[in-house]
Structure 1
Amino acid sequence: MPMDVEQQVSVIGLGYIGLPTAALIARSGAKVLGIDVSAHVVDTVNSGRVHIEEVDLDGLVQGVVSRGLLRASLTVEPSDVFVIAVPTPVSEDNAPDISYVLNAARTIAPVLKAGDTVILESTSPVGTTDAMRDLLRTLRPDLKMPGAGVGSADIAIAYCPERVLPGRILVELIDNDRCIGGITPRCARKALGFYRQFVRGACITTSARAAEMVKLVENSFRDVNIAFANELSVIAERAGIDVWEVIRLANRHPRVNILQPGPGVGGHCIAVDPWFIVHSDPENARLIRTAREVNDHKTDHVVAKASDLIDLFPGEDVACLGLAFKANIDDFRESPAVKVAARLARRYGRRIKLVEPYARELPVDFVGTGAELIDLDSALERCGVFVLLVDHDMFKSVPADERVGKAVYDTRGIWPDQPVRVPESGLRAVGG
């Protein structure tokens, strides 16, 4: 259904989730204000442009900005609905950091008024929505916050996590089911009414704590299953067996669905969120912790195997294909490909050539290493050793005759027909 045109919505955080969400709400007809701490982001959005790559997002933002439905600011203003979509990282000891969420609550507290709805979308440890409510209660004692024996509250507070796939964010924000958790059932119903204005998927209500756990469970489930594939790949490699053939054949069983291995796990969710569960109950989250350790170790394993291959060809340049955390996107957050390539660059310096079609410049991880960003055609001409880290469609399209004579370590199984190159010393190289 169309959005209430009188409704004022503020989205706090204009990142990979916040900006698409703000633009979609604006397209539905509401007046939307996007808040961000970066002046660059604010200026970019207000000019009708985007600072992130996402399919169809640029045209959508340009349209809603030109119609006056979306604008950005460094300063919060009164609204009817506040959607918080800020980062929730982990510290060096893997403890969750909810300071960005609490800072967002501090930001909106002065402009809250009776009847407003506050919705947290950031992936968060269980209890974060309650903590946000408690902070708002302290900052605004004049407003009745939900829960703790309060009957009719002035403010509705809920938690509703995104569950989207980069490259399909705009489609999935609308079509995917949403799990809406309220501090109270009344809060959940208020948030439900908001999401039904622009979400076609089913909107299901529950408690805030259950919704927080649902999001963590979804990403932990995927992490555990990826860990199985990554562990299997190491075992198969040592046994001299093609792991992709094994997985392909095993998946012909009607009740088996093994995922694909890679150089580790990256992204803003799967590589981070399982630690929230582990931190909350370390004694019982044994499988989840082990999966995280397996996936992190796979990155170390890839660095070691790639180094073995590079050392067999000491006079040749090395092409690392891909830096994104998954195929066909420009998102490098927590990317195992970046970690592998950066460690190789620190060891081999100028020999390392980086091919990433979605990067205009190298991430800061490569500063001072001497590594160079080049295109795929240049890599095929100049490099004798290839380390395949991301299965971008561009890399899959390289025909076998253009790869003749290349020594390859393939972590994604995209060049299965690549012959093993033997160095002049006669030692056998690492195959795909």
Structure 2
Amino acid sequence: MKSVCVLGMGYIGLPTAITFAKYGMIVHGVDINQKIIDKLQSGEIHIEEPGLQNIFQEVLTAGNLTFGTIPVTADAYIISVPTPINSDNTANIDYVVSAANSIIPYLKPNALVVLESTVPPRTVEDHLIPILSQSHLRIGEEVFVSHSPERVIPGRLLEELINNDRVIGGINEQSVEMTKKLYSCFVKGKMHSTDATTAEMVKLMENTYRDINIAFANEMALIAEKIGFNVWEAIRLANFHPRVNIHRPGPGVGGHCIAVDPWFIYEQAPNIAKLVHTARLTNDYMPNFVAEKTKHLLEGIEKPKIAVLGLAFKGNVDDMRESPAVSIIKKITEFATVSVYDPHVKENWNSKVDSYEECLLNADLLLLLTDHNEFTTLSPKYASQLMKNKIIFDTRNLFESKAWVEQGFDVHLIGNSSLATLNLISNLSNA
């Protein structure tokens, strides 16, 4: 295989296309968003990822990578499009269906189609194969199909694309072997063979495990607020046990994977997936809790202003997909003026400003929602000179509390209660 057509130029598809091109493949990247294609064709990437722009320039100069809004004939096709959830928490595979339909006119005998998008179990068997069958090529004999879910995180995409193990789930043995051969041009991790449906479940189980672990940490944080202990210290000490690894609590769970994938499992077996469902409800509740506690901390202040640090769902990335910060900001604007600063997010956003100064000026409360490294350099003394009232609510345990207290700040950390918040927790739990 010498040529690859990658459908979907998002956070996974674009780095995948660039990596294939770097390692000698002729790659065509496809996206239905003309603005994205125009930007890529002009030599600029539209996502933030360390080192990606430099490699992008290399492969463009070498002539190994082209872009367009429609596919081309290739030896292999990789579908890496979004799979969001609908408002009722069911899976939306419309992009997968559309991508599969778009390649039918270009399929040729011995073509390989790899679905990388995270999907509900049996998507390959029940949706992808019937669509590809419309090509009138024999599935498993003339067109080979597999599912190999991405297993990388923003901020480390290039490293993990190459070094992480991959799960290869094919519809038959030849599909598996062809997929292994395709990825072997750059993958250094081990490639594990299985069937397509098992591969679909592997990715969902990985992210659901993390969601459940985070839900446990968040539940412990709420209990800490209720009965009065520091959950961060308790988790730190508990994790010294050789068989314990409790994740960190926070303002909620974001990103396109952990906040979404558990619902794909629940949708298939709602009467059985009780633990999965409870974890989702717990993590989805956290933005409400953060907003209500923020409101409580502002009691007695007329026309309050809140300075929010962070829009992205995690630190040091520009990804806002399913970010709890977005949900929280919408809620707190109901009772306060809000100013938002995020040095990574370039997307326009209501109340988003371009500097600490604009964000903190005359603010009554500083609400930290994303743990960007840049925020650790914020000077408590400088912040105290800008703000009107000195209240901090740190939902990520990022700030060094002692330094802020020394500057006269009233510091609140999620999962580390003060007596003032105990009644609030009681009221919320009763509700």
Deviation at 1:185, TM superposition (A): 1.5
Equivalents in 2 of 1:156, 1:128: separation in Å? 15
Task: Verify: 1:393 aligned to 2:393, yes or no.
Answer: no
Report the equivalent of 1:84. Answer: 79
Task: Verify: 1:135 aligned to 2:124, yes or no.
Answer: no
> Structure 1 residues 344, 264: CA separation in 2 closer, same or farther (over 3 Å shift)?
same
Equivalents in 2 of 1:273, 1:279: separation in Å? 10
User: Per-residue displacement from partner, 1:185-242 (whole Å, max 9, x unpaired)?
Assistant: 2111111111111111111111001100000000000000000011111110122222
Report the equivalent of 2:107. Answer: 112
Equivalents in 2 of 1:386, 1:236: separation in Å? 22
Equivalents in 1 of 2:303, 2:71: separation in Å? 57
Task: Verify: 1:222 aligned to 2:215, yes or no.
Answer: no
Report the equivalent of 1:362. Answer: 348
Equivalents in 2 of 1:327, 1:135: separation in Å? 39
Task: Verify: 1:421 aligned to 2:410, yes or no.
Answer: yes
Report the equivalent of 2:201. Answer: 213
Report the equivalent of 1:262. Answer: 250
5 Å-filtered alignment, 1:124-203, equals 124-130=119-125, 131-137=127-133, 139-141=134-136, 143-146=137-140, 153-203=141-191
Equivalents in 2 of 1:396, 1:172: separation in Å? 26
Task: Verify: 1:66 aligned to 2:54, yes or no.
Answer: no
Task: Verify: 1:411 aligned to 2:405, yes or no.
Answer: no
Deviation at 1:307, TM superposition (A): 1.1
> Structure 1 residues 159, 355: CA separation in 2 closer, same or farther (over 3 Å shift)?
same
Higher RCO, Cα 8 Å, sep 6+ = 2
Report the equivalent of 1:383. Answer: 363
Equivalents in 2 of 1:406, 1:428: separation in Å? 18
Equivalents in 1 of 2:303, 2:120: separation in Å? 49
Report the equivalent of 1:149. Answer: none
Task: Verify: 1:313 aligned to 2:313, yes or no.
Answer: no
Equivalents in 1 of 2:128, 2:356: separation in Å? 48
Equivalents in 1 of 2:206, 2:352: separation in Å? 37
Deviation at 1:372, TM superposition (A): 4.5
> Structure 1 residues 429, 315: CA separation in 2 closer, same or farther (over 3 Å shift)?
farther
Which letter does structure 2 place at the counterpart of 1:135?
I
> Structure 1 residues 109, 289: CA separation in 2 closer, same or farther (over 3 Å shift)?
same
Which letter does structure 2 place at the counterpart of 1:166?
P
Aligned with residue 352 of structure 1, among 332, 338, 341: 338
Deviation at 1:24, TM superposition (A): 0.3
Equivalents in 1 of 2:59, 2:164: separation in Å? 22
DSSP-derived class of the 1:162 partner = coil
Aligned with residue 10 of structure 2, among 10, 15, 20: 15
Deviation at 1:264, TM superposition (A): 0.3
Structure 1 stretch 53-62 or stretch 321-330: which is displaced more?
53-62
Report the equivalent of 1:242. Answer: 230
Which letter does structure 2 place at the counterpart of 1:200?
K
What's the Cα RMSD here?
1.9
* TM-score when normalising by structure 2: 0.90
Which letter does structure 2 place at the counterpart of 1:408?
I
* TM-score when normalising by structure 1: 0.90
Equivalents in 2 of 1:362, 1:312: separation in Å? 32
Equivalents in 1 of 2:347, 2:363: separation in Å? 20
DSSP-derived class of the 1:267 partner = coil
Report the equivalent of 2:414. Answer: none
Which letter does structure 2 place at the counterpart of 1:231?
E
Equivalents in 1 of 2:195, 2:352: separation in Å? 50
Unaligned runs of 5+ in 2: 412-417, 423-431
User: Per-residue displacement from partner, 1:318-363 (whole Å, max 9, x unpaired)?
Assistant: 1011110000110000000111012212432xx2111111123433
Which letter does structure 2 place at the counterpart of 1:265?
V
Which letter does structure 1 place at the counterpart of 2:21?
A
Equivalents in 2 of 1:312, 1:167: separation in Å? 41
Conservation of the 8 A alpha-carbon contact between 2:319 and 2:345: no
Deviation at 1:253, TM superposition (A): 2.1
Structure 1 stretch 330-339 or stretch 303-312: which is displaced more?
303-312
Identity between Structure 1 and Structure 2 (%): 42
User: Per-residue displacement from partner, 1:60-82 (whole Å, max 9, x unpaired)?
Assistant: 11111121100101121111000
Equivalents in 1 of 2:46, 2:93: separation in Å? 24
Which letter does structure 1 place at the counterpart of 2:275?
L
Which letter does structure 2 place at the counterpart of 1:134?
P
How many residue pairs align between the two structures? 406
Conservation of the 8 A alpha-carbon contact between 1:312 and 1:429: no
DSSP-derived class of the 2:364 partner = strand
Report the equivalent of 1:45. Answer: 40
Equivalents in 1 of 2:62, 2:3: separation in Å? 15
Conservation of the 8 A alpha-carbon contact between 1:8 and 1:31: yes
Equivalents in 2 of 1:158, 1:395: separation in Å? 42
Task: Verify: 1:54 aligned to 2:40, yes or no.
Answer: no
Which letter does structure 1 place at the counterpart of 2:396?
R
Deviation at 1:37, TM superposition (A): 0.3
Deviation at 1:257, TM superposition (A): 1.5
